[in-house]
Amino acid sequence: MYKKLSIVLLFTLFITGCDQVKLDRQDNENNEITNRINLCLGLKSSTDEFNVCFKELLGITNPTRVILLELDKEIATTRWLREMSQQTRSILKNNRIDFETISLSKKNLIIDFPNPIIAKQALEHLNHAGIPLTQSKNQLSFPIQAITKVYNDDIEQSIKIFDYRLKQYLSHTTIRPYAGHYILILIPDEVDNSQQEIIQQLGKIDTFEIRLAYHDTDTNTLLSKGTIPQDREVMYMQDGQPILVSKKVYIIEKDLMDVYPHYSEQGAINLGMTFNLRGTQKLYNLTHDNFDKYIALVVKKYTTSEPEVLLTIKVVMPIKDGRIIVSGAPELKGAKNFIEAIRSTLPRPPLSIIVNTTIK
């Protein structure tokens, strides 16, 4: 028995060690590339040395417009940790778990508990809520892998948004992550688009709203008679059918934390959404006060003048935990499209353009 336990423990340590070596190697490679980028940036953009430096770094063989965006890791980390701190306080309070202090720094969140038993109890609740803390005696904190995932998620989210936007206007555009916290956009020089137009596309935003929907109303009749109630307005579903929704907006994109595919046991893709602390409270109030009514998920794309109702959901109970899983709706055959549409409205990570030039 002891030999088996020792082997398992040794194997676990070996795997953990491999993961750490992999992380260290990746960090070293990213740091090396970052140093080379800074070296190139130190050269004047009008000089041949600047072009040669980036040409060699990126392996460019044809005239190419290069746009390099950098994620501000400190701001991204601080913003995420602040949100996690708020979520953690709420979960501990709702489950009546005592804690001593919650310390928030630029690099981590540390929660102190009276003893390891309470810390373990808290860890189970927090992990179940999707907060990836780990335990050390009577403390909980985030492992380095969780912080790294924040950068990766921010970069991935931005790439999906930029890829969707730019490829509608530019063919053969390459958009990819680069050295951990950069986004590299390569556009063939022969593409006829102005620099200003490209930057505008990167800066555009879509909006997301949750409103009340009124399925028990004959919207077409109200439209023909011109008798739309003052507190409501007409929007349109994806199939072109009109629907009456409240003018009041209850939840917006800044209340969202994530939008993701949720897979059922049968493998069907459902729409999953989680909300931040502010959004969780708004969602609870909305669903508590409007039992047996419908809410509408509304997206307005920057490319269109009118908002569109993606789908409507019937409120069957108050939602306390800030999570929505939408399944069974006929419209959800296009769940992936809905997920991408709503995800494109999420608050964008703190990115700045550090290179925007044509390299020949």
Instruction: Write the CA distances from 265 to 19, 198, 261, 291, integer angstroms.
Output: 30, 42, 13, 28
Predicted pLDDT at 21: 52
- The two structure tokens encoding residue 275: 């909300």
| DSSP 8-class letter at 309 | E
Mean pLDDT, rounded, of the chain = 79
Structural domains in the chain, sorted by start: 74-146 (3.30.70), 207-343 (3.30.1360.200)
Euclidean distance between the first and the last CA atom of the chain, given in angstroms as a whole number: 67
Predicted pLDDT at 316: 92
Are 85 and 276 in contact by the 8 Å Cβ rule? The answer is no
Burial (CB count <10 Å: 0-12, 13-18, 19+), residue 106: exposed
Q: Can you tell me the distance from the alpha carbon of 90 to that of 280, in angstroms, rounded to the nearest whole number?
A: 10
Q: Can you tell me the distance from the alpha carbon of 228 to that of 236, in angstroms, rounded to the nearest whole number?
A: 15
Strand extents, DSSP E, 142-247: 174-178, 182-188, 207-214, 232-237, 242-246
Q: Can you tell me the distance from the alpha carbon of 248 to that of 125, in angstroms, rounded to the nearest whole number?
A: 34
Are 332 and 18 in contact by the 8 Å Cβ rule? The answer is no
User: In this prediction, what percent of the chain has a pLDDT beyond 90?
Assistant: 19
Quickly state the pLDDT bin for 5 (edges 50, 70, 90): very low
- Residue appearing with tokens 């109200």: 222
Three-state SS at 345: coil
Q: Can you tell me the distance from the alpha carbon of 22 to that of 35, in angstroms, rounded to the nearest whole number?
A: 20
Quickly state the pLDDT bin for 206 (edges 50, 70, 90): confident
Are 338 and 271 in contact by the 8 Å Cβ rule? The answer is yes
Q: Measuring CA to CA, which residue among 299, 340, 284 is closest to residue 209? A: 299
Predicted pLDDT at 16: 43
pTM listed for this prediction: 0.58
- Most confident range (mean pLDDT) of 172-176, 277-281, 312-316, 332-336 is 312-316
What's the pLDDT tens digit per position in 221-278? 888 888 888 898 998 887 788 889 999 999 998 888 778 777 777 667 778 888 887 8
Q: Can you tell me the distance from the alpha carbon of 136 to that of 138, in angstroms, rounded to the nearest whole number?
A: 6
Average of pLDDT values for 163-178? 75
Q: Can you tell me the distance from the alpha carbon of 69 to that of 184, in angstroms, rounded to the nearest whole number?
A: 7
C-alpha radius of gyration, the chain, whole number = 24
